[in-house]
């Protein structure tokens, strides 16, 4: 044997990579699919793939700090007698008491109120803490109707009929029992410690024609005062937005696949839905075709992280954005300060997603009183309001550079794309060209 023959080095399969192999072994040994929180972790085309075209000679920029750039937004002006008037176009997405600690909910309310925006309940009803701390509170109307009652409905500032969410459009799902504490169980009328299998459809209506009747009932009960939002997961945004409008929505909330969740099957989070970037243009087109753009407001969510993302979403036609995961990070979720404890849970700061297990060292996605007490709602609220204000300043900075005296005056024409994929999805030209894939004209 010639010992000098080069050996083929060990080669791992690209198809069966280490992560995939580990998942097969995990499924084989546990007999249950992976359930986790947060949103998609795979890379999908996103707002990062877009750039703004600042003003220079052909257009004139506005002076930062001196020349005004408005950020306010009115949500629900179509039918509601009392639309929401927010100072900034960044709202806090629905997250339930149950998935989050009472302290975390309070902190969200404090932070949002300080920044002049709204926060949203979740699947589990309205707590007095969050109502008390939230200047503008949107009350979610979900298939489970946990904690639903007419008093809270009337206490809300707006009602969000949840048809779906970006992390699991079309899905109900299952929240494992570990987090179902006494208080959560009592609010949801369920025994403590059992899995919650949530329904994928509402119990008493199906489809836009019946939704129209349901919206009518909610308007009656709230005396036609409250804006009615309809929230959908991003899958067929053109049709779904059009049908929400036909069903009578004041506001449509569209959640792309990067949108987070408290707990769902990993296969759902990673394999169902459209990237947020790909949702926007068809949704706006639907509103334009119906003559309803800016009349029925569009809130986009799913992976919004910065003022740049806000400005890009608005430029593509949204009226506002909603943040969930980013807000939790602002409160202190996945902070490296807890690294030692994350390691004990077999993970690392930045990757912790077992939000359903209730062992969050940051005291946010937990019902454990000891862990939850770690989160100071006042300090965490302050952090959130700082973050919201920074995002707003960033968006204003970009908008002024594009010569806009209001964020809503940003347009798709202020953008170009770095990749062909992003150019196609956002329907803006590839940088340095006039080519919009699908429209010809290179």
Partner 1 sequence: MHELDLKALGVTAINQKLYHIPKDTNERHWVIRNPMGQHAIACGVDAPLLIDIMGHVGFYCGGMNKEAEITIHGHAGVGVAENMMSGIVWVKGNASESAGATANGGLLVIEGDASSRCGISMKGVDIVVGGSVGHMSAFMAQRGNLVVCGDAGEALGDSIYEARLYVKGRADNLGSDCIEKEMREEHLEDLAKLLDRAKMKHRPQDFRRYGSARKLYNFNVDHADAY
Partner 2 sequence: MCGIVGLYLKNPKLQPQLGAMFKPMLIEMTARGPDSAGVAVYRNPVKDNEVKLSLAHDDKSFNWRHVEGGLEEALNCEATIHQIGTHCILVTDGKEEDVVKWLKANAPGVRVVGSGHTVEIFKETGLPEKVYERFDLASASGTHIIGHTRMATESAVTTAGSHPFATGADLCLVHNGSLSNHNRLRENLKREGMEFQTENDTEVAAAYMTWKLRNGSSLKEALEDGLKDLDGFYTFLVGTADGFAVVRDPIACKHAVMAETDDWVAMATEWRAIAHLPGADTARVWEPEPSTIYTWGGNA
Count of residues that interact with partner 1, criterion CB under 8 A? 34
Which entry of partner 1, partner 2, none binds 220, CB below 5 to 8 A by partner kind?
partner 1
Q: How far is the CB of 261 from partner 1 (least distance, A)?
A: 18
* CB neighbourhood size of 412 (10 A): 19
Which stretch, 121-129, 186-194, 341-349, 370-378, contacts partner 1 (CB under 8 A)? 186-194
Which stretch, 72-80, 199-207, 268-276, 400-408, contacts partner 2 (CB under 8 A)? 199-207
- Residue 119 carries which DSSP code? E
Distances (CA, A) of 390 to 61, 119, 219: 20, 18, 36
State the Cα torsion 208-210-214-219 to the nearest 10°.
Answer: 70
Phi, psi (deg, nearest 5) at residue 367: -115, 5
Interaction between residue 234 and partner 2 (CB under 8 A): no
Interaction between residue 406 and partner 1 (CB under 8 A): no
Interaction between residue 31 and partner 1 (CB under 8 A): yes
Dist. CA 244–CA 238, nearest whole Å: 10
Q: Which of residues 236-295 bind partner 2 (CB under 8 A)?
A: 236, 239, 243, 246
Using the minimum distance from each CB to partner 2, give the nearer residue, 207 or 336: 207
Distances (CA, A) of 41 to 106, 271, 364, 388: 28, 11, 20, 24
Which stretch, 40-48, 196-204, 272-280, 410-418, contacts partner 1 (CB under 8 A)? 196-204
With b for 16 or more beta-carbon neighbours within 10 A and e for fewer, the 294-305 pattern comes to eebbbbbbbbbb
Interaction between residue 144 and partner 1 (CB under 8 A): yes
Using the minimum distance from each CB to partner 2, give the nearer residue, 239 or 442: 239
For residue 350, give every residue at least 6 positions away whose Cβ sits within 8 Å of its Cβ, in sequence order, or none: 334, 336
Q: How far is the CB of 217 from partner 1 (least distance, A)?
A: 4
Candidate residues 68, 197, 271, 439; the one interacting with partner 1 per rule CB under 8 A: 197
Q: Which of residues 203-232 bind partner 2 (CB under 8 A)?
A: 206-210, 212-213
Interaction between residue 210 and partner 1 (CB under 8 A): yes
In 344-412, the DSSP E strands lie at none
Dist. CA 410–CA 400, nearest whole Å: 10
Dist. CA 151–CA 163, nearest whole Å: 22
Q: Which residues bind partner 1 (CB under 8 A)?
A: 30-32, 144-145, 148-150, 153, 174, 176-177, 188-191, 193-195, 197, 199, 203-205, 210, 213-214, 216-217, 220-224
Q: Which residues bind partner 2 (CB under 8 A)?
A: 201, 206-210, 212-213, 236, 239, 243, 246
């Amino acid at each position: 044997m010639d010992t000098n023959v080069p050996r083929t080095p060990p080669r791992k399969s690209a198809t069966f990579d280490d992560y995939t192999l580990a998942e097969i072994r995990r499924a084989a040994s546990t007999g249950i699919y992976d359930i986790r929180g947060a949103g998609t972790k795979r890379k999908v085309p996103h707002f990062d793939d877009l750039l703004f075209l600042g003003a220079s000679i052909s257009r004139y920029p506005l002076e930062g700090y001196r020349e005004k750039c408005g950020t306010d937004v009115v949500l629900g002006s179509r039918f509601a007698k009392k639309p929401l008037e927010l100072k900034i176009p960044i709202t806090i997405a629905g997250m339930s008491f149950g998935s989050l600690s009472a302290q975390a909910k309070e902190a969200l309310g404090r932070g949002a109120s300080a920044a002049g925006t709204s926060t949203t309940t979740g699947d589990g009803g309205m707590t007095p803490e969050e109502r008390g701390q939230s200047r503008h509170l949107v009350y979610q109307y979900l298939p489970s109707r946990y904690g639903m009652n007419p008093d809270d409905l009337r206490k809300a500032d707006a009602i969000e009929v949840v048809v779906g969410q970006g992390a699991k459009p079309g899905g109900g799902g299952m929240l494992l029992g570990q987090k179902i504490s006494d208080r959560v169980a009592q609010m949801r009328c369920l025994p403590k410690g059992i899995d919650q299998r949530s329904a994928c459809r509402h119990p008493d209506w199906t489809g836009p024609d019946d939704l129209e009747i349901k919206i009518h009932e909610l308007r009656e009960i709230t005396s036609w005062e409250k804006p009615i939002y309809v929230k959908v997961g991003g899958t067929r945004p053109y049709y779904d937005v059009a049908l929400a409008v036909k069903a009578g929505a004041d506001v449509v909330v569209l959640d792309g696949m990067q949108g987070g969740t408290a707990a769902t099957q990993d296969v759902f989070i990673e394999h169902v839905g459209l990237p947020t970037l790909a949702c926007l243009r068809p949704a706006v087109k639907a509103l334009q075709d119906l003559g309803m753009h800016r009349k029925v407001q569009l809130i986009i969510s799913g992976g919004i992280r910065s003022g740049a993302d806000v400005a890009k979403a608005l430029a593509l036609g949204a009226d506002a954005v909603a943040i969930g995961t980013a807000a939790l990070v602002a409160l202190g979720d996945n902070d490296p300060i807890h690294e030692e404890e994350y390691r004990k849970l077999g993970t690392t700061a930045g990757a912790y997603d077992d939000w359903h297990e209730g062992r969050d060292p940051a005291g946010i996605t937990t019902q454990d009183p000891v862990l939850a007490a770690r989160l100071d709602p006042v300090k965490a609220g302050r952090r959130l309001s700082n973050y919201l204000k920074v995002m707003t300043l960033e968006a204003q900075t970009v908008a002024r550079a594009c010569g806009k005296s209001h964020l809503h005056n940003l347009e798709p024409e202020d953008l170009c794309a770095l990749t062909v994929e992003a150019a196609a999805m956002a329907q803006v030209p590839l940088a340095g060209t006039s080519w919009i894939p699908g429209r010809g004209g290179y």
